[in-house]
């Protein structure tokens, strides 16, 4: 109908919708990663800034180029751009060290966006977290080139890092807990060393109601407790196992990715619990940092969890269950 020359919209109910959009969520995740980026640049210098910029830009460009090749026009790509590739790009940059060659983050982002995300159908269709896959791609591909981690002072650490040293030899780290928390004198990836910055970002995400704080906390607690259990119930391992390595960034920013978490509350409890067990177990068995591998493996289990666990309708009764099964 014409209303002062304007057409009325005719569509199905509900006619009111919440203002929150995918783009809003993803921009907020990027905002939540800013403290970690700043901390990384402070600790590791200008190289960190270059790596982050490279991974971010190459992720976004990969998405645009892929869609252009697919024949979508530029205006449409801009209109539907939802900032998920920014999150992926930033996370790829944050989870590698500064001693990687500068083409590593570019390759990692390209792999994450094109192979892991776009090949499967774009946002929301990927089976595993693109950032995790990108990180693992870089980690495995550059194993022979990069054998050491860099300390904030610029000196390389050969051999074992604080975490792997602790796990292999059983000796507790010489670093104080505060140093681990702030990331001082701690070798590692750009974004994973400063826990304070990550936790600021996580609190922001919780305040914006983007992530449910219960699940990452379950993951962290289970990992810590299982490490304690595997080391003869020595509770001195609890905090170092949480604060060393990439557990905090993995728990708050990678495991909580909407696309790669189960769709029910019950499924999420199981997922994060198993994730914790798997992380601690793999760490102990391999003597390596395995947060990203654990998340990758558990991502592949999600279709199974979602198949088994679905919400029961309101007013559900047991007799109904049989008839559902019969179908």
Partner 1 sequence: MSIRKGKNYPYGIHIPDMKYLCASSPIEVMPAPNKLFISLSQHIGAPAIPVVAPGDEVKKGQIIGKESGAISANIYSSVSGKVLSIEEIVNGVGQKQKYIVIENDFKNEEVLFPDMKDFEAQSIIDRIRLAGIVGLGGAGFPTAVKLSPKSPLEILVINGAECEPYLNCDNRLMLERTDDIFKGINYVAKALNVKRIIIGIEKNKPEALEAFSKYEGFEVVALKKQYPVGSEKHLIYCTTGRKVPVGKMPFDVGCCVQNIKTMIACYEAIELNKPLTEIVMTVSGLGINSPKNLKVAIGTPFEDIIKYCGGLKENTVKLVCGGPMMGKALANTVKFASKTDSGLIALSGEECSVAQPSNCINCARCANNCPMRLMPMYIESCALAGDFVGAEKYGAMNCIECGSCAYNCPAKRALVESIRFAKAKIKEAKQNGK
Task: Calculate ∠ Cα 298-299-303, nearest 5°.
Answer: 105
Query: Which helix (H) or strand (E) element contains residue 247?
Result: helix 247-249
Candidate ranges 21-29, 129-137, 141-149, 223-231; the one touching partner 1 (CB under 8 A): 21-29
- E strand or H helix at 2, and its extent? strand 2-3
Q: Which of 78, 144, 313, 326 binds partner 1 (CB under 8 A)?
A: 313
Conformational region of residue 220, where left means phi above 0, alpha means psi within -120 to 50, and beta covers everything else: alpha
- Using the rule CB under 8 A, give the single segment among 20-28, 104-112, 188-196, 213-221 that binds partner 1: 20-28
Q: Is 9 helix (H, G, I), strand (E, B) or coil?
A: coil
Binding of partner 1 by 78 (CB under 8 A): no
20 interacts with partner 1 by CB under 8 A: yes
Interacting positions 170-229 with partner 1 (CB under 8 A): none
| Residue 238, H or E segment | helix 238-243
Please give the Cα distance from 45 to 39 (Å, whole number): 10
* 124 sits near partner 1 (criterion: CB under 8 A): yes
Give the residue from 168, 166, 258 showing the smallest Cα distance to 205: 258
> Which one of 25, 91, 205, 278 is in contact with partner 1 (CB under 8 A)?
25
Alpha-carbon torsion 75, 77, 82, 86, what sign? negative
CB of 128 to partner 1, least distance (A): 13
Q: Total residues contacting partner 1 (rule CB under 8 A)? A: 48
Task: Map residues 268-307 to x or -, x wherever contact with partner 1 holds by CB under 8 A.
Answer: ----------------------------------------
Is 22 a binder of partner 1 (CB under 8 A)?
yes
21 near partner 1, judged by CB under 8 A: yes
At its nearest, how many Å lie between partner 1 and the CB of residue 5?
A: 9
Per CB under 8 A, contacts with partner 1 among 235-264 are 258-264
Q: Which of residues 84-113 bind partner 1 (CB under 8 A)?
A: 84
Query: In the complex, what is the shortest distance from the CB of residue 317 to partner 1, in angstroms, rounded to a whole number?
Result: 5
Closer CB to partner 1, residue 8 or residue 78?
8
Q: Tally the C-alpha atoms within 13 A of residue 241's C-alpha that lie toward its C-beta.
A: 34
d(CA 81, CA 88): 13
d(CA 240, CA 245): 9
Count how many residues are written for the chain. 327
Is 140 near partner 1 (CB under 8 A)? no
Least separation, in Å, of the C-beta of 9 and partner 1? 5
Residue 253: CB partners within 8 Å, gap ≥ 6?
Answer: 29, 32, 33, 91, 198, 201, 202
Give CA 207 to chain center in angstroms. 18
Interaction of residue 15 with partner 1, rule CB under 8 A: yes
Q: Which residues bind partner 1 (CB under 8 A)?
A: 1, 3-4, 6, 8-22, 24-25, 80, 82, 84, 121-125, 258-265, 310-317, 320, 324, 327
């Amino acid at each position: 109908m014409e209303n002062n020359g304007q057409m009325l919209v005719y569509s199905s109910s509900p006619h009111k919708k919440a203002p929150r959009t995918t783009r809003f969520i993803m921009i907020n995740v990027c905002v939540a990663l800013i403290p970690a980026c700043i901390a990384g640049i402070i600790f590791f210098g200008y190289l960190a800034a270059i790596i982050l910029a490279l991974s971010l830009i190459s992720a976004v460009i990969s998405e645009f180029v892929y869609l252009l090749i697919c024949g979508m026009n530029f205006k449409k790509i801009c209109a539907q751009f939802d900032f998920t590739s920014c999150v992926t790009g930033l996370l790829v940059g944050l989870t590698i060290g500064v001693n990687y060659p500068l083409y590593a983050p570019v390759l990692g982002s390209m792999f994450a966006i094109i192979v892991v995300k776009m090949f499967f159908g774009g946002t929301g269709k990927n089976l595993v977290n693109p950032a995790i896959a990108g990180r693992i791609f870089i980690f495995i591909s550059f194993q022979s080139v990069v054998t050491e981690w860099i300390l904030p002072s610029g000196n390389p650490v050969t051999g074992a890092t604080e975490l792997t040293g602790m796990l292999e030899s059983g000796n507790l780290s010489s670093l104080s807990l505060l140093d681990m928390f702030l990331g001082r004198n701690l070798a590692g990836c750009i974004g994973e060393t400063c826990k304070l910055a990550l936790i600021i970002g996580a609190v922001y995400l919780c305040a914006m109601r983007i992530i449910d704080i219960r699940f990452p906390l379950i993951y962290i607690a289970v990992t810590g407790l299982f490490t304690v259990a595997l080391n003869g119930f020595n509770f001195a391992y609890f905090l170092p196992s949480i604060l060393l390595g990439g557990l905090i960034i993995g728990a708050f920013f990678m495991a909580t990715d909407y696309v790669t978490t189960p769709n029910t509350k019950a499924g999420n409890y199981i997922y994060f619990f198993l994730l914790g067990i798997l992380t601690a177990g793999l760490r102990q068995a391999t003597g390596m940092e395995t947060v990203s591998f654990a998340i990758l493996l558990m991502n592949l289990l999600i279709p199974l969890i979602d198949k088994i666990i679905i919400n029961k309708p309101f007013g559900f009764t047991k007799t109904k269950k049989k008839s559902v099964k019969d179908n």
